[in-house]
Structure 1
Amino acid sequence: MSKRPYLIERYPPSDRFNHWFVAITFILVALSGLALFHPAFFFLSHLLGGGPWTRILHPFIGVVMFVAFLALALRFWGHNFLTGNDRQWLRQMDDVVTNQEEKLPAVGRYNAGQKLFFWTMVISILLLLITGILIWQPYFAPYVPIVLIRVAVLVHALSAFVAITGLIIHIYAAIWVKGSVGAMTRGTVTEAWTRQHHLDWYRKIKKGEIRGHDHY
């Protein structure tokens, strides 16, 4: 009988549920937002029952997404500050895209690309919330000066573009690095995967400085 691999828990069930809940609500907000943004995308409004329902539900779903994302952001806040190794990792982007990971500095729980994505989403989603409230009819917009509404609409659209672009890159990177999707579905990664992609995090786990072990 072959020996089962030694697995490391990367995400417990609560983190995985939160992640996928944010992902689903973000997609609903993004598609409904595109339906409201330009007539060419209006067909997407059928996802939420047509134009009127899309206009009503879009901001409410956005608020739900923000609350769920806030919980996720607070959970992983401390893991996403850039270090000296992260800055060196970014300077060696040629080695990153050519998968020459042996030349890169040891990576912690997240690499510099993942950390930049985290902060991009934090800023973008916060701006989407603030500007969304300012232009929310009929609750808040009637009390906001028209000049501020115009600025808010522009910032809202730009923030949405950045967030959607970031999500596309995030999905591509998750598919590109084999094992990443499994980490967010099953919650575990192999010891070899951890050692290859997140060596510094692996070393801390082996030393017992942080938790992460599950033997299956």
Structure 2
Amino acid sequence: MIRDPKDLKRYTASERANHWVVGISFILLGLSGLAFFHPAFFPLTQLFGGPVWTRILHPYLGVIMALAFVVMFFRFKHLNKMTPADKEWLSKVDQMVDGDDHNMPEQGKYNGGQKVMFWALAISMLLMTLSGIVIWRAWFDLPVDIVRLGAVVHAAAGAVMIGLIMVHVYAAIWVKGTIRAMWYGTVTRAWAKQHHRGWYRQVTGK
């Protein structure tokens, strides 16, 4: 793909690698987790070499994702602080969904919806990690009632995370020109000016 040298840098190589480690880990965790969530998904264990290996690999994949997410969290948390403009954006989100973004308030690098997504994923990730530790019987021997509660929290947080990631992926596909930012690290000036005018002004000085 030939890219315009005037395109704007949105993500560095390390930021993109961090994102993909989290994303790939999530896919593997989702598939292996679903395999144990309901008998209908149990055949998914064959993707990991059978049920025994699936059970062994799942928590270690969770550790990889948790660590990668912590790195990503501290990289981007300062860019995801809610502002009055974000709250106004959220109040007009129905217009955005209808495809009319002309009356949306000026946004920085991330809009109000992306910021809500970021914090929702952070909370879900925290619950997933803590509950995962609780139910990791190979390393932690906790009372059975706590383990049962941990299993419920883990499943609920996992379901929420799957839903959030589906929305995240759909939004990236829906807003044309977004996916290339995670492939190549750049976006067009027109894309930046239309969707993140505040960030566009910041990086271009215009």
TM-score when normalising by structure 1: 0.91
- 2:186 is equivalent to residue 188 of structure 1: yes
Q: Summarize the alignment of residues 106-185 of structure 1 with structure 2, pairs less than 5 Å apart.
A: 106-140=106-140, 142=141, 144-185=142-183
- Offset at 1:37? 1.1
Matching residue's letter, 1:26:
F
**Structure 2: distance between partners of 1:181 and 1:139:** 39
Instruction: Provide, for residues 128-183 of structure 1, a one-character-per-residue CA deviation record: whole Å limited to 9, x for no partner.
Output: 1110111112211x2x1111111111110000000000000000000000010001
Report what 2:76 is aligned to: 76
- 2:105 is equivalent to residue 101 of structure 1: no
Report what 1:204 is aligned to: 202
**Structure 1: distance between partners of 2:168 and 2:160:** 12
- Where does the alignment leave 5 or more consecutive residues of structure 2 unmatched? none
Q: Is the 8 A contact 1:132 1:156 kept in 2?
A: yes
Structure with higher RCO (Cα < 8 A, 6+ apart): 1
**Structure 1: distance between partners of 2:159 and 2:91:** 26
TM-score when normalising by structure 2: 0.95
Q: Is the 8 A contact 1:80 1:110 kept in 2?
A: yes
Q: Summarize the alignment of residues 18-29 of structure 1 with structure 2, pairs less than 5 Å apart.
A: 18-29=18-29
Root mean square deviation, CA, Å: 1.1
**Structure 1: distance between partners of 2:187 and 2:39:** 44
**Structure 2: distance between partners of 1:181 and 1:201:** 18
**Structure 1: distance between partners of 2:184 and 2:104:** 27
- Offset at 1:126? 1.0
Q: Secondary structure at the match of 1:59?
A: helix
- Offset at 1:185? 0.2
Report what 2:10 is aligned to: 10
- Offset at 1:89? 0.6
Runs of 4+ in 1 over 4 A off after TM superposition: none
Q: Secondary structure at the match of 1:101?
A: coil
Q: Secondary structure at the match of 2:82?
A: coil
Matching residue's letter, 1:31:
L
Report what 1:85 is aligned to: 85
**Structure 2: distance between partners of 1:152 and 1:137:** 11
Report what 1:214 is aligned to: none
Q: Is the 8 A contact 1:5 1:190 kept in 2?
A: no
**Structure 1: distance between partners of 2:46 and 2:116:** 34
Q: Is the 8 A contact 1:8 1:190 kept in 2?
A: yes
- Offset at 1:205? 1.6
- Offset at 1:22? 0.9
Matching residue's letter, 1:184:
M
Q: Summarize the alignment of residues 15-54 of structure 1 with structure 2, pairs less than 5 Å apart.
A: 15-54=15-54
Q: Is the 8 A contact 1:179 1:189 kept in 2?
A: yes
Matched positions, count: 203
Instruction: Provide, for residues 50-102 of structure 1, a one-character-per-residue CA deviation record: whole Å limited to 9, x for no partner.
Output: 10110111001100111011111111110001110110011112211122211
- Offset at 1:36? 1.1
